[in-house]
Amino acid sequence: MEISLKLTERTAQGKQVKKLRNEGMVPSVVYGGQADPVHTQSPLVETTKVTHKAGKHSPVHLMIDGKKKLAIIKTIDVDPVKHRVRHVAFHTIKENEVITTEVPIHLTGMGESPAERAGLVVLQALERIEIKAKPAALPESLEISLESLETTDDKLTLGDIVLPEGVEFAEQEQNMEIVVANVYEPSALQAQNEAAAGDAEGPVSEEEAAEGEAAESTEGEAAGDSAESKEDAKE
């Protein structure tokens, strides 16, 4: 299903962008080709729907003041408090151009495998992988079934994924033995988690804890100020 978004060119930049967001618009920028970046904007509701549907792997058909462009979303800046899309960066692509992008790996048949019915636990070890294909052939995700998993000796690897026609892994010499999902005994998994938790914990004095909290607070405020300044500069 085609994903589309209508953009208009914007003149608001820097500190003016805050007013733009308050009016329910999302600032964006469109890169690509030999042309200069185009500063754009679009309504928050429509933009949020598109970013959720397309992510960073599905092509988006852009209409910029009457001009059609095909693009991939490169970055999505989301407000950490309000959870609203603050800024989007698009990168234009061509219909016949093979592009590289990262897509999620979805496990199908969760809870229905012989292993899970026997009381074992299946955990996903690899959640995303880079692929390459022409825009029209790009899948929203790669799927792999759990139906072959029966015992703790079983696992799923990249070699078990059936790629759609016209799609390849980004690295031609990709190791097909990379594990996507493993099967565990619940008791063994619990023991591993407890051991990991024990290693992570260590005696910390009250003075060290207080200093750590103060440092984290200062660093967080500095990072927030830096991020805002950088964004205002680029917009």
What pLDDT, on a 0 to 100 scale, did the predictor assign at position 201? 61
What pLDDT, on a 0 to 100 scale, did the predictor assign at position 163? 94
Identify the residue whose tokens are 């989301």: 78
The pTM score is 0.67
What pLDDT, on a 0 to 100 scale, did the predictor assign at position 205? 47
* Contact of 76 with 90, CB cutoff 8 Å: no
- pLDDT tens per residue, range 129-177: 999 999 989 988 999 999 999 999 999 999 999 999 999 999 877 789 9
Which residue ranges of the chain lie beneath pLDDT 50? 205, 207-211, 213-230, 232-233
What pLDDT, on a 0 to 100 scale, did the predictor assign at position 202? 56
What pLDDT, on a 0 to 100 scale, did the predictor assign at position 195? 72
Ramachandran area for residue 170 (φ above 0: left; ψ -120 to 50: alpha; else beta): alpha
Return d(Cα 47, Cα 27) in angstroms, integer: 10
Show the domains of the chain with their CATH numbers: 4-93 (2.40.240.10), 100-200 (2.170.120.20)
